[in-house]
Structure 1
Amino acid sequence: MIRVQYFARYREVLGVDGEQLQRAAMTSLDDLRRHLLNRGGVWQVLAEQNLMCARNQELCGLETELVDGDEVAFFPTVTGG
Structure 2
Amino acid sequence: MIKILFFGQLKERLECADLNLEYAGEHTVVDVVQQLLERGEVWRPLAENDVLVAVNHTICAFDATVRDGDEIAFFPPVTGG
**Structures share fold, TM-score greater than 0.5:** yes
1:53 match: secondary structure: strand
Shift of 1:80: 1.6
Q: Which residue of structure 2 aligns with residue 3 of structure 1?
A: 3
Distance 1:38 1:24 in 2: 18
Equivalent residues of 1:50, 1:77 under 8 A apart: yes
Shift of 1:37: 1.2
Equivalent residues of 1:2, 1:22 under 8 A apart: yes
Q: Which residue of structure 1 aligns with residue 54 of structure 2?
A: 54
RMSD across aligned positions (CA): 1.3
Q: How many residues of Structure 1 are paired with residues of Structure 2 in the alignment? A: 81
Shift of 1:24: 3.6
Shift of 1:25: 6.1
2:54 match: secondary structure: strand
Aligned-pair identity in percent equals 40
Q: Which residue of structure 2 aligns with residue 79 of structure 1?
A: 79
Between Structure 1 and Structure 2, the one with more strand by share is 2
Provide, for residues 36-56 of structure 1, a one-character-per-residue CA deviation record: whole Å limited to 9, x for no partner: 111222210111000100000
Q: Which residue of structure 1 aligns with residue 34 of structure 2?
A: 34
5+ residue gaps, structure 2, are none
User: Aligned partner of 1:53: which letter?
Assistant: V
